Each structure stands twice: as C-alpha cells, then as structure tokens.
Amino acid sequence: MNALLPPLRPSEAALAYHARTKHSLKGYAAGPETLDWDTQPNPFRDYEGAPRTALPLAAEALGVSFPQMVSGGVAPAPVDLAGVALLLELSFGLAAWKQLGPDRWALRCNPSSGNLHPTEAYVIAGGIAGLADGVHHYVSRDHVLEHRFAPPGPDVVAVASASGFAIENRFGPAGGAPSLFLALSSIHWREAWKYGERAFRYCQLDLGHAMAGVRYAAACLGWTVYLVEATSADIARRVGLDRDGDFAGAEREDPDILIALAPAGGDLPALPPVAFGGRWMGRANVLDRHPLYRWPVIDQVSLATHRARAVAGDAVSAPALPARAVVGDAPAASVILGRRSAQRFTAKGSAMPREVFLGLVDALLPRDGAPFDAWGFEARVHPLLFVHRVEGLAPGLYALPRRAGVTADLKAALRSDFTWETPEGVPEHLPLYRLVETDCRGIARTVSCHQAIASDSSFALAMLAEFEPLVSADPWRYRQLHWEAGMIGQSLYLEAEAAGFRGTGIGCFFDDDLHQLLGIEGAAFQSIYHFTVGRAAVDDRITTEPAYPGRGA
C-alpha cells in the first residue's frame, strides 16, 4: 500500500490522497506495523556550524492577562531582540520536561500529534536591535537562534541578469524601521515514522496549531500578524530549504507559510527582496539514521498541494460580533506554558458549567482578536459537537456553522431528520444548533477510533470542512483547511486551560463511518479533525521539570 498514486492532476492527487488515507471500522490507513521508541527520530533540528544567538527568557515576567491577550488590549512592545525572544518562547519554546521512570521528554508550547513536532520556525530579520540581519532558525531545545543567512552589506546592489532589473540587497526597510517575518516548514518524516501515510494530514494540523500559537504570542506583545501571499517555492528560497547541499543526507523540510509581524496600528513591513550574494551557514542534522519505512505518497501529495501562485485571501464577510465575556483572569503566559494535552478524563466532576461551554464555543467564531483575526480567509471549517456533560444543556449532537450563509448547505448535506433547534438561553449572535438530543458518548468514542477520551470528556467535536469544491479549484486549499482546523484546536486548548479544563486533539477517526452516521454523501463536506475537552485525570507518577533548567529570565 506504500506505492505512489497514479499520475494525476494536483487537485485529483490531493483528493485521492485524502480518500486513500481514511481510517474505517474495517481497517486503518497504511502505516508501520510496529514501533521501536528507542529509535524515534531526533525531535530537534539544528544546523551544525551556524552561529548561535542565545535568547532571553521572559514569559514568567509577562504582565498580560489571558483576557487581554484574546481581546487585543496590549500596548505594542518594541520589535527588538527581547520581543522576538518572547514571541518564540510563547509560540515554539519548551513548556516543561516530563519524566516517567527512565523516559524523559520535552513538552512545547505548540502541541503536536504524538508529541513529534514536525513544524520548524525561521526568522527573517532586518534592522532589529540586538539581532543580526538575515535568516535565523529557532532551536526550541536551547531557546537560541541559529544564523543561517547573512546578507551582503546594505549598500550592495545586485543585478538580476534574467530580468535586467537592479535589486537592492537590503533586509531592513529603507526607513530603518525593523522588519520581522516568520517562515514555518514541516519535516514530514517526524510524523510518518509513527503514523505512516496519514501523517501528512497531521503535519498540516500541527501547522495550524503553530499559526494560532504565533498569533497568541504576538498578541501578548501587542503585535499584528498577517499571512503573506507567497508561493511555496518563494518561501523555500528565502529560508534556504531549497539548498540541497545543506540537507545532504538529512531529512528535507517542506515550505508552508510566511508570516509578517508588526506593532498593532503600525504599517506592516515590506517583504525584503530575495537576496543575491551573502553567506549561508550551517548544515542540517540527520534526525533518523536508520529509517525503516518510507511513504512516497506523502511526497506526492506535498508536491501536489504546494502553493503555485500567490493569490489573495477570500473576501471575508464575517458579521460584527459583540465582545467576548472571557471566563477568568489568568496570566496569559501561565495558560500558554501550562497547556497540556489530556491523556484521559475523569467522568466524576467533569460536568462543565454552561457559561464555560458557551464561552468556549463563542471563542471559535471568527472575530477581531487572537487567533482568527490573522486568518484572512472565510471560515470553511464547522464543528459538530457531541455534548456529554454540560450543566443545563441536554446531551446530544450540536452544530456550529462558522460562516454566514453555510447553514443551508449543512442542512442539505446532513440527515433530514436533524431538528436544528436553538437551545434556550444561547446568545443571539451564537449560531449553535441542537441537531438531536441523545446520549452520544458511545458514538463519539466509536468514530474516534474507539478512544475513551472522546466519551469521558465534557464534550467532543468533529470538524467538518467545506471540501471538494475548494480543493478542486486550488489543491493548496487542502493544506489550508487543515490549518484552519488546527487553529480551532489551539483556541480550544487555551480556552479550556484558562477555564480549568483540558483539551486534546484527535487525529484518528473513522472518516466515512462518521459521514454515514451524519447522512453525508459525496465529498462536499469532510471531517478533517476531532477534538475533546473535559476534566483531565492527572497521572501522579509523571514528574515535571523546568523547561530551561539553570537559565533565568
């Protein structure tokens, strides 16, 4: 089953990959038969020979509350080395080390399927005080930046021979204001080592979590985040992912997105030109010296879904929503650093207060504030919620259409006997509908690969994406739909943590068995991610150690 798909157009390849990697009650997508955890790939990439810049630690001293972070009420901080360090600490840094017996592992601020972390982060810096111009790679294990590319001097001008145009090799903008971009990439083998062919899906979900993590961290600094319209090839060229010699024998990275950052209310920085000349430094480490399995279909779908042209986002028409009533006043850093993926839930005491549930659901609507104000596209992913234990709310299946006008399409796609009732007391602006009142714990558990976390929680959900028409028109949207689902998951993680609950993502589910249960025929809508939230049961055998022992703020 680990053969390539037949030659197909990019959109057909994306759709065929999705169909091929579905789990079902009759069998699972192709993956390794056994795992040897002693040979797990190195979870940290670094570049041998690249100069390093140690970054300060400042999250614990951050005086920003969780409500301030999500509502945008933070005064802009300078774009300097301290700001970049805090941004990376809160989005990609380590949150703690865990140990059980002889096993010791790191936890990061950004969650990942299987804690395997395929996402890598690169800083493109220009005119930032304390940080050399050029391209830097972030190493979360050490909280350092590796200087991968140093541009030529600011007065150097190179001529692009193909076009005849003079291009300035200046990384910082002409006025001397700082310029800051983040490029994110994925190492697919980190996930494929464990999950086989379905791993490409998980890499994209992780990327969505990371995007939301960057937005939350930027909000703590009073910064704006904007997704840059860049092709996959352009991103690879800008941060050196296309340099074969730097990855000789090492696992390659797939270019994903480019993000611009700037103080809120100010001008976003202009993207610097692709530099000519300059100096590249460092060579990528080998993560797995004895790879036992390869899944060529992942390379195929990766190539098919690259962004081939820089196109603008959707014309977003989200209605104006009232300000959220955020539950609690916890420090933002403690929520981000304290976030954990629940391994199991306790049914006793797991009933969630109604106002907490409605607050979590309200947080998933696109509105001004972190994280969805950074998205720039119409909402195309819509949760279906399996409500188990919420005070004052009948157990059953509920729907949350996140885009104006999609409700009619969902009604037409789902079972005709669903009631689409608005529960009593739900705020008028919140499009929450009860489809059927029933005990759905067994159903949620079964369709989520028989996992108890989907039934023992307060509620679980399946994220339905508007699928085939979007992917057929632009195969890059296959990635992007998963990113949107990952952003929803990250919102649930932090909102649950702030309210005293825990969440966890579920990438393993029976795709078409769920669709059949819902009455979905065809591929206009597809479930692409599951999630669950409840009262976590803590394993006291596991000890916690500081993220960066011996390093102060």
| Alpha carbon distance 500, 110 (integer Å) | 19
Residue 172 confidence (pLDDT): 54
Q: Which amino acid is at 78?
A: P
Q: How far apart are CA 36 and CA 440, in angstroms?
A: 36
3-state secondary structure 215-240: HHHHHHCCEEEEECCCCHHHHHHHHC
Q: What is the pLDDT of residues 91-125, one digit of tens each?
A: 999 999 999 988 899 999 999 999 999 999 999 99
Instruction: State pLDDT tens for residues 247-274.
Output: 999 999 999 999 999 999 888 888 877 7
DSSP state for residue 187 in the 8-state scheme: -
Shortest CA distance to 424 belongs to which of 342, 524, 354, 527? 354
What does the mean pLDDT of the chain come to? 91
Q: Is the pLDDT of residue 392 over 90?
A: yes
* Backbone angle region of 376, left / alpha / beta, with phi > 0 → left and psi within -120 to 50 → alpha: left
- Single-letter code of the amino acid located at 552: G
For the cut 50, the answer to whether the pLDDT of residue 294 exceeds it is: yes
**pLDDT at res. 318:** 58
Q: How many CB atoms lie within 10 A of CB 433?
A: 22
Radius of gyration of the chain (CA): 23
Would you say residue 175 has pLDDT above 90? no
Instruction: State residue 152's pLDDT score.
Output: 85
pLDDT for res 103? 87
Q: 396 - beta bridge partners?
A: 387, 437
Rounded to an integer, the average pLDDT of 153-159 is: 51
Given this model, what pLDDT does residue 158 score? Answer: 45
Tell me the pLDDT tens digit for each residue of 486-537. 999 999 999 999 999 999 999 999 999 999 999 999 999 999 999 999 999 9
- Categorize the per-residue pLDDT at 315 as very low, low, confident or very high, splitting at 50, 70 and 90: low
Sequence-separated (6 or more) residues with CB below 8 Å from residue 291: 189, 193
Mean pLDDT along residues 180-196: 96
Task: Say if residues 135 and 146 touch (Cβ distance below 8 Å).
Answer: no
pLDDT on residue 319: 66
Identify the weakest region by mean pLDDT among 19-23, 32-36, 210-214, 358-362: 32-36
Q: Cα–Cα distance between 239 and 281 in angstroms, integer? A: 11
Arithmetic mean of pLDDT, 359-363? 96
Average pLDDT for 336-358: 90
pLDDT at 176 over 80: no
pLDDT at 524: 97
Instruction: Name 117's Cβ contacts closer than 8 Å, sequence gap at least 6.
Output: 43, 108, 110, 190, 206
Q: Exposed, middle or buried: residue 337 (CB in 10 Å: 0-12, 13-18, 19+)?
A: buried
Q: What percent of the chain has a predicted confidence (pLDDT) above 90? A: 78
**pLDDT of 322 strictly over 60:** yes
What is the DSSP pairing of strand 525-534 with strand 459-466?
A: antiparallel
Residue 159: its pLDDT value, please?
A: 41
What local confidence, expressed as pLDDT, does residue 160 receive?
Answer: 38
pLDDT-derived band at 313 (thresholds 50, 70, 90) equals low
Most confident of 259-268, 309-318, 359-368, 541-550: 359-368
What residues have CB less than 8 Å from 41, skipping those under 6 apart? 116, 189, 190, 193, 251, 287, 288
In the 8-state DSSP scheme, what is residue 527? E
Listed range (164-168, 229-233, 467-471) with the worst mean pLDDT: 164-168
Nearest to 191 by CA among 345, 354, 11, 43: 43
d(CA 68, CA 281): 40
260, β-bridge pairs: 181, 226
Segment 230-243 mean pLDDT: 96
For residue 308, pLDDT over 50 is answered with yes
Q: Please, which residues have CB within 8 angstroms of residue 365's CB and are 6 or more apart in sequence?
A: 318, 321, 372, 402, 429, 430, 431
- Out of 69-78, 152-161, 234-243, 537-546, pick the least confident: 152-161
Contacts of 499 (CB under 8 A, 6+ apart): 327, 328, 356, 359, 360
* pLDDT for position 276: 66
Question: How would residue 275 be classed by pLDDT, with cut points 50, 70 and 90?
Answer: low
Closest CA to 135 of 247, 236, 64, 56: 236
